[in-house]
Every structure is written in structure tokens, then in C-alpha cells.
Amino acid sequence: MSQASAAAAFIATLRRDLLISLKRRNDILNPFMFFIIVVSLFPIGVSPDSAMLRQIAAGVIWIAVLLASMLSMDGLYRSDYEDGTLEQLLLSSMPLYLLVFAKNIAHWLVSGLPVILVSPLLAYMLALPAEGYLTLVASLLLGTPVVGMLGSIAVALTVGLGSRGLILAVITVPMSVPVLIFGTLAVQNALAGGLPLGYLALLGAMLALTICLAPVATAAALRISVN
């Protein structure tokens, strides 16, 4: 297997998943609208007081991101499993972890990136001070791929099960809690006048570690689940 053929397989898988997602617009809109609805309900359910919202804004956005990502994870390998594409990927001569990584990138582009782009607007609605916007976006850029790839492992483990919503939550949420904590602390540190680089560095380290290990773990989980 040459590097050129591996790169071509990676690009082809990425392109295929992006095209499928664009045809299934509900897969993009549902998590996006869910994220907006959850964040919008907090001022109504908690308090419209700006001082209180300012304190909880970062945590609210990160919790909504985590819930929205779990909503979109269920379909990551479901259609491929149902139509037999997943079996073809397992039989392919290309490294399965490379194809899995391409699918994870495509999933993040259609479900994670739109959420990040709209997050400053929702942060403004929650009265987050302007000095926290850049840190919020940076933490989401580093943290959401980690959540997505950790969720990919859980989806791969349960891809053959009929009903797996609760199981996905039980597996994914504990692994994602450190990301949520560091992302929230980074924003709070920036608002307090400190440097959030330490928390962002931790998120970056988690992202690097996840990129190296999660696709391999997902590929192994897919082989176990399908075989």
C-alpha cells in the first residue's frame, strides 16, 4: 500500500461522508437546532439576570455542545452498517483506522463546526463578556473533536445493537467530562483576567492523544461488533 493510495482512500471517504451528510440535511439541522434550543431555554428556566447568566454561560454552552454531539453520534456508522458499507470497509486493504479518522473529520465538519460558529452569538445572549469569546471558540475548536472521537468509540462498540441511545450516553459522558471541565475553566480563567493557555494546552494535548489513539480503538471496536 502506497502513501498515495492511502491518501486517495482517505479523501474519498471524507468526500463521500460529506456528500451523504449534505443530502441528509436533518442530520445537520437536528443537533444544531437542539443546541440552540437548549441554550435558549436556560435564561427562561434559570433566571434572566445578566449577572447570573454571565457566571454560567460557559458551562451552559459546553453542556449543550456535549448533549448535541451525543444526538448526532448515533448515526455515525448506522447507515454504513445497515447497507453493508461497513463490511466493505473492514475488508478493504486500506487501514481501517485511517478511514475511521476520515469519517470522524466529516462528522465534525457537519455537526461540530456549525455549533462552534454560532456559539459567540449564543454567548452574547447569555451575557458572556467580550473577553471570553475568543477563549470559548478556541476551547470548542480543541474540545469538540475530542468529544466526537470518544463518541465514535462508543458508537463502534454498540453499532450492532438495536436501541443504544442510553448506552451511548453512559459510555460517552464520563469520558467527555474532563473536556467539559477544562473548556469551562479556560473561559472562566479568561474572564477573571488570567491566561487560559494552561487549560487550552491540556485540551490540545487531549486532542493530540485522541487523534493518535481513538481511530485505532474505534477500528478495533468495529471489527469486534461486526464480526
> In the chain, count of helices (H) and strands (E)?
10, 0
Q: Which three cell numbers stand for residue 121?
A: 452569538
Higher-pLDDT residue of 103 and 31 is 103
Instruction: Give the Cα separation of 146 and 166 in Å (integer).
Output: 20
Residues of the chain above pLDDT 90, percent: 26
State the average pLDDT for the chain.
Answer: 85
**pLDDT band for position 30 (50/70/90)?**
confident
Is the pLDDT confidence value at 153 over 60? Answer: yes
Q: What are the cell numbers at 15?
A: 468526500
Q: What is the pLDDT of residues 157-216, one digit of tens each?
A: 888 776 666 777 788 888 889 999 999 999 999 988 888 899 999 999 999 999 999 999
Judge whether residue 32 has pLDDT over 70: yes
Q: What is the residue type of 58?
A: A
Q: Is the pLDDT of residue 127 over 90?
A: no
pTM: 0.89
* Sequential DSSP letters for 156-194: HHTTT-S--HHHHHHHHHHHHHHHHHHHHHHHHHHHTTS
The answer on pLDDT for 58 being more than 60 is yes
DSSP string computed for 55-118: HHHHHHHHHHHHHHHHHHHTTTTHHHHHHTHHHHHHHSSS-HHHHHHHHHHHHIIIIIHHHHHH
Mean pLDDT throughout 99-110? Answer: 90
Q: Give the residue-averaged pLDDT of 117-127.
A: 89
Burial (CB < 10 A; 0-12, 13-18, 19+), residue 82, is: exposed
- Structure confidence at residue 111 as a pLDDT band (50, 70, 90): confident
Give the residue-averaged pLDDT of 112-136.
89
CB neighbours of residue 20 within 10 Å = 15
**Euclidean distance between the first and the last CA atom of the chain, given in angstroms as a whole number:** 24
Please determine, for residue 73, whether its predicted confidence score (pLDDT) is greater than 60. yes
Q: Enumerate the domain spans of the chain.
A: 3-226
Checking if the pLDDT of 1 tops 60, the result is no
Question: Cβ(146)–Cβ(210) under 8 Å?
Answer: yes
**Other beta carbons within 10 Å of 195:** 11
Position 215 scores a pLDDT of: 92
Give the highest mean pLDDT range of 90-94, 203-207, 219-223: 203-207
Query: What's the pLDDT score for residue 163?
Result: 60
Radius of gyration (Cα) for the chain, nearest Å? 18
